[in-house]
Amino acid sequence: MNRAIAIIGGTGPAGTGLALRLAKAGEKIIIGSRDATRALQTADKIRVRVGPQAQVSGLENSAACAASDLLVLTVPFESQAELLKQLKPAIRPGSILIDATVPLAASVGGRANRILGVWQGSAAQQTAELVPKGVSVVAAFQNVSAEVLNGDEDVDCDVIVCSDDPAATQIAMELAAKIPRVRAIDGGKLENARIVEQITALLIGLNIRHKGHGGVRITGLPEAAYKAGPSSL
């Protein structure tokens, strides 16, 4: 694919980690940030880690949206709605927006192993309400540890992909399966994101309790349900 993927909020740990993995897989990445200078700095760091063949650039968030029709949103929940309102004019019709946001209670000073109730049902459904018409929202990547993404080990986690647009689900699943050992699973409708988002809070609680970097695997489905990535780098 020669299509660029814009990672909105790409200077945070989750965004940087995803950008790193996707750049390693040969994808063309645009790091988006409120601050274009920071976006460029993160792009440079990723290039150093991946090597000179890495296709990574950095832009201010709205310029990043304007430059791509495949967006990945990796911002804290407290920034999500306001940022999407700002970016609305820049998001191209027909774009796919992959939302990794989790409404952790930490967003309002609470605990990271608790979840806020979101009126729409989930952070991803809130996003669906805020993007321009004709933009497909996909919920994915919420359960993958940012620490693991930023490390060198394979990612021992499934990515459950939820969307009301089956074509967008397929694209997000293909993207997820580019990360070594990730398996993408079609999780059905976007409304199911509310459960997938909550799993992140459970994993954070387990990480605190057991000192790990928890992930999740779904067992017991037929082989065809899993879109598996390469087994290792």
Structure tokens at 49: 């880690």
Amino acid (one-letter) located at 228: A
CB 30 within 8 A of CB 58: yes
Mask of contacts with a second copy, 125-164, x by CB under 8 A?
A: --------------------x--x-------xx--x----
Of the pair 23, 144, the CB lying nearest a second copy is at 144
- Contact call for residue 17 and a second copy (CB under 8 A): no
- For β-strands 183-186 and 226-228, DSSP reports them as antiparallel
* Tally of CA atoms within 13 A in the half-sphere of 4 that contains its CB: 19
**Alpha-carbon gap, residue 199 to 191, rounded angstroms:** 14
Of the pair 6, 161, the CB lying nearest a second copy is at 161
Amino acid (one-letter) located at 40: L
CB 204 within 8 A of CB 113: yes
Selected range binding a second copy among 6-14, 45-53, 95-103, 186-194, rule: CB under 8 A: 186-194
Amino acid (one-letter) located at 36: A
Q: How far is the CB of 92 from a second copy (least distance, A)?
A: 30
- Contact call for residue 165 and a second copy (CB under 8 A): no
Selected range binding a second copy among 5-13, 70-78, 98-106, 185-193, rule: CB under 8 A: 185-193
- Contact call for residue 186 and a second copy (CB under 8 A): yes
With CB under 8 A as the contact rule, the residue among 146, 171, 185, 190 that binds a second copy is 185
Using CB under 8 A, count the residues that bind a second copy.
Answer: 39
Amino acid (one-letter) located at 17: G
Residue from 78, 55, 50 nearest 7 by CA: 55
**Residues in touch with a second copy (CB under 8 A):** 113, 115, 145, 148, 156-157, 160, 185-188, 192, 194-196, 198-199, 201-203, 205-207, 209-222, 224-225
